[in-house]
Amino acid sequence: MIEVIVMWITVIAMRIAAIVVRIIFLMWLKCGPMWLRCGHIT
């Protein structure tokens, strides 16, 4: 039972990480290498 819970946590964490990476990549494409100065995520 614990293995199933760990598996689900891993799957959810991977999906969240993929979404975060995609958002950061899109911001980098939009703002360029200096995307940190482009503005903070609201």
Is 35 contained in some domain? no
Instruction: Identify the pLDDT of residue 22.
Output: 94
Is 25 contained in some domain? yes
Least Cα distance to 26 among 16, 15, 41, 11 occurs for 41
Q: Domain count for the chain, please give it.
A: 1
Strands (E), 1-42: none
What are the pLDDT digits (tens) for 1-42? Answer: 899 999 999 999 999 999 999 998 887 777 766 656 665 554
Instruction: Identify the pLDDT of residue 25.
Output: 85
d(CA 18, CA 29): 16
Domain range spanning residue 10?
Answer: 2-29
Is 21 contained in some domain? yes
Is 7 contained in some domain? yes
